[in-house]
């Protein structure tokens, strides 16, 4: 039993979350739920990134104060996370006063250490990324610089600002990324290393003049400036677990922190974040787990690309949170972008959830009630299933420990397929006493449901309840799990979509 701290990025609440945000958040939730099941003291944090130019402009556009906008959006985000059954322990907002304290303290500390200086800046900015682009990083359309991610024209900005001496951390970063296994998968560490090796680490602007960006945390050593939104946002990972307020708690969780991010914000979470932490005398995170994009019509799903797929559309089509969670986790990929299509989603839902899992439960449940009055026991498990269950549990745990949720799901799915073949071959409906067969099948159903519980908590919880397995512990997932089962219902869990 250990401690497990897991975070998602904090999202810009300029619009409701879409399935890209759900992809990251559900993934973090599955890992959090898995770690709770194996007995780890787990802390799962998500939240919203509420300051900066992007937010300020979104509020201006609606003619309201940014605070009103972010207050409204807190409810919107929380509601989506409720519909998706996200079991966060804390929802952090960067407008919380304890967070603002940490930001002020941290920037002051860097200033006192001589790591911040004032100079002028001129460059091309994307407000959607909240980031400057240097030549070579942006794309050109009709000779004008455009954001490579949002495909919008960049704005030219020239102003006096404060810089953080990122360049001083170049050797530290190179050593860290080459010697320690922090970034997962490793290819992303190599990508960052390459960028540092070819371009070097350049100092970054970490303040904005208030006259342009007033919606932010005031720089403690110059009231004419606000703190750059990325510097502000990254610190959520330490402020949310009690940095400064409760250092024991902070140190406990920080010792095993796992950040989950999309690959779009890799640079901020390595070069910049690891350097800020070093400057604050804090250890780098244990793990930074990176995933690729969901695509629609060939482009990364996003508001600016105009190809957003709404979470509610999927919730409607796939029968609520469980269906959406399962599909998103089944296609989850760290390295490869995944195109989202209705055909793909329908086929996963129909063949795996409705047929493979749902049908098996229905068939075994109905037969147990009809043939054995719902009381099922035997003195052994049929070895075909016994072997497959043990093998699957082992594989599942290995994959989950390696953050490969989709491979873990595939393993369970294979077990369910074997169970379906078993029932077809053994034909228990033709037997007078099919105790051995039904008991063995219930063992397969029970262990599959426990393994799927982090992914589909509602359906799996319901099934375990119906077959009388009350205590869900993956640790205790041995074969046999129970001496007997009592089946009280055989519901249709997932209605097929057409
Ligand atoms: O970047 N495919 O917030 P954000 C996969 N506030 N994941 C996607 C996705 C897609 N098409 N679209 C979004 C910010 N995501 C900052 C973060 S953290 C200190 C500050 C997910 O609202 C993915 O996790 O733009 C990506 O990294 C994140 O949403 C960006 O969310």
Q: Note whether residue 443 is domain-resident.
A: yes
395 ligand 1 Cβ < 6 A: no
Q: What is the tens place of the pLDDT at every residue in 53-62?
A: 999 999 999 9
Q: Note whether residue 173 is domain-resident.
A: no
Q: Note whether residue 55 is domain-resident.
A: no
329 C-alpha to center of ligand 1: Å? 17
Q: Note whether residue 145 is domain-resident.
A: no
Q: What is the pLDDT of residue 474?
A: 60
Q: What is the rounded CA–CA span in Å between residue 181 and residue 327?
A: 29
300 ligand 1 Cβ < 6 A: yes
- Domain range spanning residue 390? 341-486
| Ligand 1, atom 3: closest residue by C-alpha | 11
Q: Note whether residue 393 is domain-resident.
A: yes
233 ligand 1 Cβ < 6 A: yes
Q: Note whether residue 373 is domain-resident.
A: yes
7 C-alpha to center of ligand 1: Å? 13
Q: Note whether residue 139 is domain-resident.
A: no
327 ligand 1 Cβ < 6 A: no
| Ligand 1, atom 16: closest residue by C-alpha | 11
Q: What is the pLDDT of residue 473?
A: 64
Q: What is the rounded CA–CA span in Å between residue 395 and residue 491?
A: 29
CATH code: domain of residue 416 = 1.10.730.10
Q: What is the pLDDT of residue 11?
A: 98
Q: What is the pLDDT of residue 476?
A: 62
Q: What is the tens place of the pLDDT at every residue in 278-332?
A: 999 999 999 999 999 999 999 999 988 889 999 999 999 999 999 999 999 999 9
Look-up: residue for tokens 């455009």? 146
293 ligand 1 Cβ < 6 A: yes
Q: Note whether residue 377 is domain-resident.
A: yes
Give the residue, out of 6, 24, 308, with the most ligand 1 atoms within 8 A of its beta carbon, to mutate for a pocket test. 24
Q: What is the pLDDT of residue 259?
A: 98
Q: What is the rounded CA–CA span in Å between residue 276 and residue 65?
A: 31
Alpha-carbon torsion angle 34, 40, 41, 47, nearest 10: -30
pTM of the model: 0.96
Task: Name the strands in the sheet holding 222-227, side by side, starting at the edge strand that comes first in the sequence.
Answer: 207-209, 222-227, 218-219
pLDDT above 70 covers a percentage of the chain that reads 99
Angle, alpha carbons 364-370-376 (nearest 5°): 60
Question: Domain count of the chain?
Answer: 1
Q: What is the rounded CA–CA span in Å between residue 111 and residue 430?
A: 79
DSSP collapsed to 3 states, the chain = CCEEEEEEEEECCCCCCCHHHHHHHHHHHHHHHHHHHCCCEEEEEEEECCCCHHHHHHHHHHCCCHHHHHHHHHHHHHHHHHHCCCCCCEEEECCCHHHHHHHHHHHHHHHHCCCEEEEEEEEEEECCCCEEECCCCCEEECCEEECCCCCCECEEEEEEEEEECHHHHHHHHHHHHHHCCCEECHHHHHHHHHHHHHHCCCCEECEEECCCCCCCCEECCEEEEEECHHHHHHCHHHHCCCCCCCHHHHHHHHCCEEEEEEHHHHHHHHHHHHHHHHHCCCCCCCEEEEECCEEECCEECCCCCCCCCCHHHHHHHCCCHHHHHHHHHHCCCCCCCEECCHHHHHHHHHHHHHHHHHHHHHHHHHHHHHHHCCEEECCCCCHHHHHHHHHHHHHHHHHHHCCCHHHHHHHHHHHHHHHHHHHHHHCHHHCCCCHHHHHHHHHHHHHHHHHHCCCCHHHHHHHHHHCCCCCCCCCCCCCCCCCEEECCCCCCCCCCCC
213 C-alpha to center of ligand 1: Å? 22
In this prediction, the residues of the chain whose per-residue pLDDT falls under 70 are 471-476
């Amino acid at each position: 039993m250990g401690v497990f701290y897991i975070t998602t990025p904090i999202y810009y609440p300029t619009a409701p979350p879409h399935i890209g945000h759900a992809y990251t958040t559900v993934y973090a939730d599955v890992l959090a739920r898995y770690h709770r099941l194996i007995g780890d003291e787990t802390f799962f944090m998500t939240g919203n990134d509420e300051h900066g130019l992007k937010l300020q402009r979104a509020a201006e556009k609606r003619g309201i104060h940014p605070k009103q906008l972010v207050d409204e959006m807190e409810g919107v985000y929380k509601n989506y996370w409720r519909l998706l059954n996200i079991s966060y322990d804390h929802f952090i907002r960067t407008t919380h006063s304890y967070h603002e304290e940490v930001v002020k303290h941290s920037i002051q500390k860097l200033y006192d250490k001589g790591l911040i200086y004032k100079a002028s800046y001129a460059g091309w900015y994307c407000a959607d990324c909240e980031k400057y682009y240097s030549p070579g990083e942006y794309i050109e359309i009709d000779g004008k610089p455009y954001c490579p991610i949002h495909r919008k024209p960049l704005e030219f900005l020239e102003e006096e600002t404060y810089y953080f001496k990122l360049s001083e951390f170049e050797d530290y970063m190179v050593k860290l990324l080459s010697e320690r296994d922090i970034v997962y998968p490793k290819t992303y560490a190599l990508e960052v290393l390459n960028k540092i090796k070819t371009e070097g680490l350049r100092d970054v602007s970490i303040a904005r003049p208030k006259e342009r960006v007033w919606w932010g945390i005031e720089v403690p050593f110059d009231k004419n400036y606000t703190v750059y939104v990325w510097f502000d946002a990254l610190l959520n990972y330490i402020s949310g677990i009690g940095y400064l307020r409760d250092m024991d708690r902070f140190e406990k969780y920080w010792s095993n922190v796992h950040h989950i991010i999309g690959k779009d914000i890799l640079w901020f979470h390595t070069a910049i974040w690891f350097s800020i932490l070093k400057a604050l005398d804090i250890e780098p995170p244990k793990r930074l787990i990176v995933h690729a994009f969901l695509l629609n019509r060939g482009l990364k799903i996003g508001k600016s690309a105009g190809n957003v797929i709404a979470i509610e559309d999927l919730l409607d089509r796939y029968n609520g949170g469980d269906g959406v969670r399962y599909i998103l986790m089944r296609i989850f990929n760290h390295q490869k972008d995944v195109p989202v299509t209705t055909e793909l989603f329908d086929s996963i839902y129909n063949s795996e959830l409705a047929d493979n899992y749902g049908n098996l439960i229905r068939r075994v449940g109905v037969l147990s009630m009809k043939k054995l009055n719902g009381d099922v026991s035997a003195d052994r498990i049929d070895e075909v299933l016994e072997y497959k269950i043990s093998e699957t549990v082992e594989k599942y745990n290995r994959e989950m420990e390696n953050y490969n949720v989709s491979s873990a799901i595939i393993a369970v799915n294979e077990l369910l397929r074997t169970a379906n073949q078993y029932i077809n071959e053994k034909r228990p409906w033709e037997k007078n006493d099919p105790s051995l067969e039904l008991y063995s099948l219930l063992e397969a159903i029970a262990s599959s449901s426990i393994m799927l519980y982090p992914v589909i908590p509602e359906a799996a919880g319901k099934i375990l309840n119906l077959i009388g397995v009350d205590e869900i512990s993956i640790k205790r997932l041995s074969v046999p799990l129970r001496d007997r089962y009592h089946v009280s219902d055989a519901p249709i869990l997932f209605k097929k979509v057409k």
